[in-house]
Amino acid sequence: MKNRTLLFGEGLFETFRVYAGRKLVFVEDHLDRMADGCRFFALPFSGKKGMDALESALAEIPDNTEARLRLNLISYGDQGVEETAFRTTWEPLQEMEARQSSGVKLTLAPFQRFSRSPLVRFKTTSYLENISAFRLARERGFFDALFINERGEITEGCITNIFFLSKGHIFTPPTDAGLLPGITRKQIIEVARVLGLSVAESTITPADLNRFDGAFVTNSVIEILPVCTAGDTDYGIPEMVEALRGGYRKRLEASLFPPGP
């Protein structure tokens, strides 16, 4: 049978941060998002097989190693998808301490993306758009690139969700702008509310960048990193980021997989 993921991009993936002790977090959230994608794209899915693949991958990672782990759903079939299988890859995690203290620089992607495309709502293996913009950003010395939709609204980064700060309030683009509803994005919004911080989904354009006094990006691997530059606007490192990181780390303890003794 044809590997339809290789030939046509018919596949999904989820990326996890592996913590020391071969631990993952928010596994159910990741698998639920993959299951939603499979229902939308009519791909066979088994949560049990996905969990089995993760457990097998964890067994291969040294106990004291933090890593980036990718769970891939590969599809096969000649005239259409007939079956799927899970494959995993992993690599040691690079040190991020310097970026946590100095912040990261973001540029704007060189092309727009369509807000209603289903490809932006799921982590599909049709990833060339993200890779192209990300590669150009890295070649120019930026950490990530922010996409703009057909209405001129900021949506997300190639590998991150974005948040902005103004006078103690937190703003992030709404999902209908055309972005992946990130697992860490969801957790950070909940952490902010628990801490009593104001957080709102709000339309944001490049013209708004200089109206904010800070920003940060999130994903499951980096957790949360401050932004020192977005486009032509420079920001300071917000103290709020450290409080959010602390609250996020506390939530990790309740979600560890496999759970502790």
Q: Where are the domains of the chain?
A: 4-92, 97-250
Closest by Cα among 95, 102, 219 to 163: 219
CA distance 47 to 32: 8
Token pair 């969700």 in the structure block, residue? 161
Q: Show the CA angle centred on residue 237, arms to residues 69 and 201, nearest 5°.
A: 70
Which token pair is 130?
């993200």
pLDDT of residue 150: 98
pTM: 0.94
pLDDT digits (tens), the chain, 261 positions: 999 999 999 999 999 999 999 999 999 999 999 999 999 999 999 999 999 999 999 999 999 999 999 999 999 999 999 999 999 999 999 877 768 888 999 999 999 999 999 999 999 999 999 999 999 999 999 999 999 999 999 999 999 999 999 998 999 999 999 999 999 999 999 999 999 999 999 999 999 999 999 999 999 999 999 999 999 999 999 889 999 999 999 999 889 988 765
Three-class SS state of 203 = coil
Using DSSP, state whether 8 is helix, strand or coil.
helix
Homologous superfamily of 97-250: D-amino Acid Aminotransferase, subunit A, domain 2 (3.20.10.10)
What is the per-residue pLDDT across 8-56, written as a single tens digit (0 to 9) for each? 999 999 999 999 999 999 999 999 999 999 999 999 999 999 999 999 9
Separation of alpha carbons 132 and 67, rounded Å: 24
Cα gap 71→62, rounded to integer Å: 18
Q: Which CATH class is domain 4-92?
A: alpha beta
130-141: pLDDT as tens digits: 999 999 999 999
The helix (H) or strand (E) run that includes residue 86 is strand 83-92
Q: What is the pLDDT of residue 259?
A: 73
